[in-house]
Amino acid sequence: MSGIGTGELQRISRAALHGRDGEWDLVIAGGIVTAIEPHDSAAAAGGAVLDARGGLVSRAFAETHVHPDKSYSLSDLPEGIDAAELAGLDGFSRAARLKSAFTPEDVARRAERALRLAVSNGATRARITADVDTVAGLRGFEGLLLARAATADLLDVEIVAFPQEGLSRDPGAEELLREALRRGADLVGGWPNVEATGEEERAHVRTVFDLAQEFDVDVDIHADCFLDPEERILEFIAEETIRRGYQGRVLASHCAALELQSDADARRIIARVAEAGVTIAVIPLNLADGGPRGLSRPQELRAAGALVVSGTDNMNDGWYPLGTLNPLDRASMTFWGGSFDDEEDLDVVWDMVSGEAWRALGEPGGDVFVGMRAELAVFDARDRSEALRNPGGGLTTIHRGRVAARRRVRQEFLPGHAAELAGAER
Ligand SMILES: [Zn+2]
């Protein structure tokens, strides 16, 4: 098969599968993987077949935490913003100034670009967050609705309505959240730490849960985002989850402060998080905050039985100038920042952007299995290690059994020098 057709694949042949020796064929029907069988060249000779040529075929990636309403807003300034006026502002003020100029169309254009990048990097599912507050109004949310519609054949998207400026701190935000939920926001977000007092932080959490229950949606909440041991709302979120009977319906992101709290405090909070079934999305870009460690104790959370994933957060916006929206980069950053060191740990960080990420979004976990939706990534790499070591390598992304994107890499050398690099000449 060459190029990208629009038809459904019937088979992926000559696949390398994680944890299995040999070459395998995945049989696909109606967008579902219906069988995994040893490679059969006769069966693979006809029909809509994608030849993996011995490359790794994996579960596609899932983005559990990303803010595409803001993506590219630093390099592609919204109309009316002058780069000079951003100089010297802190992240909060810079992000607020940028979003004050957002229009739904501007947000849609940048968010669509970000979502397409995510698909080209192997993701076919994303939980995306829209600032919903009195600075952005509903313009960011409306932009993400447009971007979701424009990319509906590439990936599945759910939208979090997020009061980034606070609730007590930003009167009017609660009503805007309610309006976004009425208009189809899939989850309610929060960021209690931005409030002025501990009581207002707890009121913020209670309001988020009130809205979640009113609209029967899940909660996706920013918690203790900075490397500040005084940030301590995560434990209260876990307790509120239990009080509301919301176990399994809450994801808390960042939780960077956990890293700096005493081991005794962290053990207690982690036990509470696990008991409450709160998923934790660690955010490797927190490593750029310059703290001593900074990645939210993913190993201790996992050991306690918590579901832990690794999220993107910001990309080229008022908060963070870099970002590739590449889950392979994120897995590597999680490996560095999470004090992982063994080859077996590669599977842990891989799962945090793949199987476990799907599980965090309410789907079955795991890698490739019979009965799964054909959400797959086909690499020009033989195994996970090689893919992780070459995050820009060739890759075909499959969504609902169709090829959604394909990245081809062509390397050329001075005549007489053979190409031996990964993915160069498959
Ligand atoms: Zn975030």
The per-residue pLDDT for range 377-414, each reduced to its tens digit, is 999 999 999 999 999 999 999 999 999 999 999 888 88
Q: Ligand 1 centroid to 22 CA: how many Å?
A: 41
- Ranges of the chain with pLDDT below 70: 1-4, 290-294, 419-426
Cα separation, 46 vs 374, in Å, equals 19
**What is the model's pLDDT at position 110?**
98
Q: Cβ(120)–Cβ(395) under 8 Å?
A: yes
Q: Ligand 1 mean position to 222 CA, how many Å?
A: 6
- Give dist(CA 279, CA 282) in Å, integer: 10
Helix (H) and strand (E) counts for the chain? 13, 16
Which pLDDT value is given to residue 47? 85
* Rounded distance from Cα 252 to ligand 1 centre (Å): 10
The pTM is what? 0.95
Centre of ligand 1 from the C-alpha of residue 165, in Å: 12
**Cα of 259 from ligand 1 centre, angstroms:** 18
Question: What is the per-residue pLDDT for 421?
Answer: 55
Report pLDDT for 415. Answer: 84
Which residue matches tokens 């599945």?
Answer: 156
Q: Rounded to the nearest whole angstrom, what is the distance from the C-alpha of residue 410 to the centroid of ligand 1? A: 35
Give distance in angstroms: CA of 66 to centre of ligand 1: 6
- Asked whether 220 and 189 are in contact (CB, 8 A), the reply is yes
Domains of the chain: 11-60+367-407 (2.30.40.10), 61-360 (3.20.20.140)
Could you tell me the distance, in angstroms and rounded to a whole number, from the CA of residue 162 to the centre of ligand 1? 9
Distance of CA 335 from the midpoint of ligand 1 (Å): 20
374, HSE (Cβ side, Cα atoms, 13 Å): 28
Task: For residue 189, report the distance from its CA to the centre of ligand 1, in Å.
Answer: 10
Measured in Å, residue 136 CA sits from the centre of ligand 1 at 16
Q: Dig out the tokens for 98 from the structure.
A: 């940028």
Task: Give, in order, the Cα–Cα distances in Å from 306 to each of 120, 188, 191, 346, 390.
Answer: 30, 21, 21, 19, 30
Ligand 1 centroid – CA 322 distance (Å):
15
Beta bridge partners of 50: 12
Q: What separation in Å is there between the alpha carbon of 192 and the centre of ligand 1? A: 13
Q: Cα of 313 to ligand 1 centre, how many Å?
A: 5
Residue type, 179: E
What is the distance between the alpha carbons of residues 50 and 54, in angstroms, rounded to a whole number? 11
The strand order across the sheet containing 49-51 reads 32-38, 24-29, 11-15, 49-51
Tell me the chain's radius of gyration from C-alpha atoms: 22
347 C-alpha to center of ligand 1: Å?
25
pLDDT at 345: 96
In the prediction, which pLDDT does 43 show? Answer: 82
State the distance from the centre of ligand 1 to the C-alpha of 263, rounded, in angstroms.
Answer: 25
